[in-house]
Amino acid sequence: MDLLTPELGLFFWTLIAFLAVFFILRKYAWKPILNSLGEREKGIADSIATAERVKGEMSQLKSENEKLLAQAREERTTMLREAKEMKDKIVNDAKEQAKEEANKIIVDAQHQIQQQKMAALTEVKNEIGSLAIEVAEKILRKQLNASEGQEAYMSMMAKDIKLN
């Protein structure tokens, strides 16, 4: 049981050593330790504040990005709609121009057909006139070959001529 009860001298010297170490540590070690703990606590608090600030900025950037995405989608939709309208307009203009060209070609073709028809009719009339003259000439020659035919023709011509 001697081990469990310390002697008074040992207790005293242990207390003196403890107090000496305590005061030395308090004077030289605790201030730097407490300062470094305070700095560490301040650094952690600053880091937490910075993290919160960054988190707020990130949420703000996220909302701005969502707004920009929505705006980009809207602009894309507008551009697609405008492109479709422009395409439809170009197609309709091309169709109208093609119709106008087709109508012009048809009118020109009809005009040319009419001119060719008139030219053909004129040529046919001229050919018929030439044929009629040839037939009349052949008939007259045949009738005028005989002397009595010539006399009949002369008397007929004399009757037709009216004297003034």
Decide if 2 is inside a domain: no
pLDDT digits (tens, 9 = 90+) for 117-149: 999 999 999 888 888 888 888 777 776 676 777
Residue 3 lies in a domain: no
**5-39 exposure pattern, b = at least 16 Cβ within 10 A, e = fewer:** eeeeeeeeeeeeeeeeeeeeeeeeeeeeeeeeeee
The answer to whether residues 73 and 67 touch, using CB atoms and an 8 Å cutoff, is no
Whether residue 18 is contained in a domain is answered as yes
* 137 domain-assigned: yes
Per the structure, the count of domains in the chain is 1
- Which tokens belong to 32? 């730097």
The answer to the question of residue 1 being in a domain is no
In a domain? residue 86: yes
User: Which range marks the domain in which residue 49 is found?
Assistant: 8-160
Q: One-letter amino acid identity for 66?
A: E
pLDDT tens, 81-107? 999 999 999 999 999 999 999 999 999
